[in-house]
């Protein structure tokens, strides 16, 4: 290792570099910390990546029976570390991508208007829970906010009271994907609902600083959101494919994008010119991420396929894979 740098020190330097340019790099840092501990235990004194150490890391994951997507998640940061070391003149084994199975990509579920109505009707019937005392008030607004603003689940559940401007009807989304902030104006109907909800919970000591609290003074956990969502799906008679399948909470974000595009096409709007608007609203890093929804719209609503083709080119390929991670 150059200048006596240990593997742990190299990982710390890589993580610091990633975060300095705006990446959160939290999950990757955890994987690399686990890899360093594994390497230290199985290959004492080794301060780089060898074929033996990396293949042993992958073999250990395979023995645990992890899914292909998880295996990719365990390998990608290690491959990144190998490239980082290589750029600094340190010989490090780079695991070939072809050695790993390709995960089956998820095709988003686009909720029909009837499914959305049934889902939200069930959130309105949510009952009081002593462990999460504001749950019955939170759930009827949380999922509508995710859908109506096209938010990622974490962006909604981690909203603080100060992030919701009820005077202007604007949400402040902080430290989203890529470490970016953005402002999201809400519709008139959602603005009214947010204000009514806030009036009900304002001043409650168990709310803390969170607009959508979970347990007293704590934000909603992802697990809490998912458990409630699955129950609402079941109550709304919307079938679920089981673990690893949909529909998912994140599909509300996909449906928001598709429904906006569908409405613009129906109104005869210049969809190509409006794509950057949707890109900014949803917090995409590039318009290419937003282009995906044009194809998804054509797949979900074949009757407007010709108009989608006119907007984005001669051919609209079928949607056989979901968007990139964190879309």
Taken as a whole, the chain contains a residue count of 327
Buried/exposed 165-196: b ≥16 CB within 10 Å, e otherwise = eeeebebebeebbeeeeeebebeeebbebbee
Is residue 229 within 8 Å of residue 135, measured between CB atoms? Answer: no
Is residue 251 within 8 Å of residue 108, measured between CB atoms? Answer: yes
Residues in the chain predicted with pLDDT less than 50, given as ranges, are 1, 314-325
Q: What is the pLDDT of residues 14-64, one digit of tens each?
A: 999 998 877 788 889 999 999 999 999 999 999 999 999 999 999 999 999
Please give the domain boundaries of the chain with CATH numbers for all domains. 2-99 (1.10.150), 113-235 (1.10.443.10), 251-312 (no CATH)
pTM of the model: 0.73
**CB-based contacts of 61, cutoff 8 Å, min separation 6:** 70, 71, 74
What pLDDT, on a 0 to 100 scale, did the predictor assign at position 327? Answer: 65
Is residue 184 within 8 Å of residue 194, measured between CB atoms? Answer: no
Q: Which of 223, 205, 201 is nearest to 141 (CA)?
A: 201
What pLDDT, on a 0 to 100 scale, did the predictor assign at position 317? Answer: 43
What pLDDT, on a 0 to 100 scale, did the predictor assign at position 294? Answer: 76
Where are the strands (E) in the chain, listed by range?
A: 164-165, 170-173, 182-185
What pLDDT, on a 0 to 100 scale, did the predictor assign at position 320? Answer: 47
Q: Is the Cα torsion angle 38, 42, 46, 48 positive or negative in sign?
A: negative
């Amino acid at each position: 290792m150059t200048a006596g740098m240990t593997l742990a020190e190299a990982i710390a330097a890589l993580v610091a570099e990633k975060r300095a340019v705006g990446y959160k790099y939290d999950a990757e840092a955890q994987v690399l910390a686990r890899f360093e501990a594994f390497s230290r235990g199985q290959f004492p004194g080794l301060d780089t990546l060898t074929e033996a150490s990396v293949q042993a890391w992958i073999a250990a994951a395979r023995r645990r029976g992890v899914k292909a997507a998880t295996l990719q998640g365990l390998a990608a940061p290690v491959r990144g570390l190998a490239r980082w070391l290589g750029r600094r003149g340190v010989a490090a084994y780079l695991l070939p991508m072809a050695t790993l199975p390709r995960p089956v990509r998820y095709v988003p579920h686009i909720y029909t208007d009837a499914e959305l109505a049934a889902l939200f009707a069930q959130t309105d019937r949510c009952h009081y829970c002593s462990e999460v005392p504001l749950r019955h008030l939170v759930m009827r607004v949380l999922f509508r906010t995710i859908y109506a603003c096209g938010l990622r689940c974490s962006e909604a559940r981690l909203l603080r009271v100060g992030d919701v401007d009820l005077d202007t009807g604007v949400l402040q989304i902080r430290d989203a994907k890529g470490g970016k902030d953005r402002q999201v104006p809400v519709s008139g109907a959602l603005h009214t609902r947010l204000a009514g909800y806030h009036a009900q919970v304002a001043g409650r000591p168990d709310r803390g600083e969170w607009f959508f609290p979970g347990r007293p003074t704590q934000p909603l956990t992802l697990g809490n959101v998912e458990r409630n969502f699955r129950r609402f799906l079941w109550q709304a008679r919307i079938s679920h494919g089981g673990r690893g399948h949909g529909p998912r909470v994140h599909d509300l974000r996909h449906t928001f994008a598709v429904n906006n595009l569908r409405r613009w096409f129906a109104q005869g709007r210049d969809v190509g010119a409006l794509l950057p608007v949707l890109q900014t609203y949803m917090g995409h890093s590039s318009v290419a991420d937003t282009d995906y929804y044009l194809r998804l719209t054509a797949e979900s609503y074949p009757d407007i396929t010709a108009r989608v083709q006119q907007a984005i080119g001669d051919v609209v390929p079928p949607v056989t894979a979901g968007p990139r991670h964190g879309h």
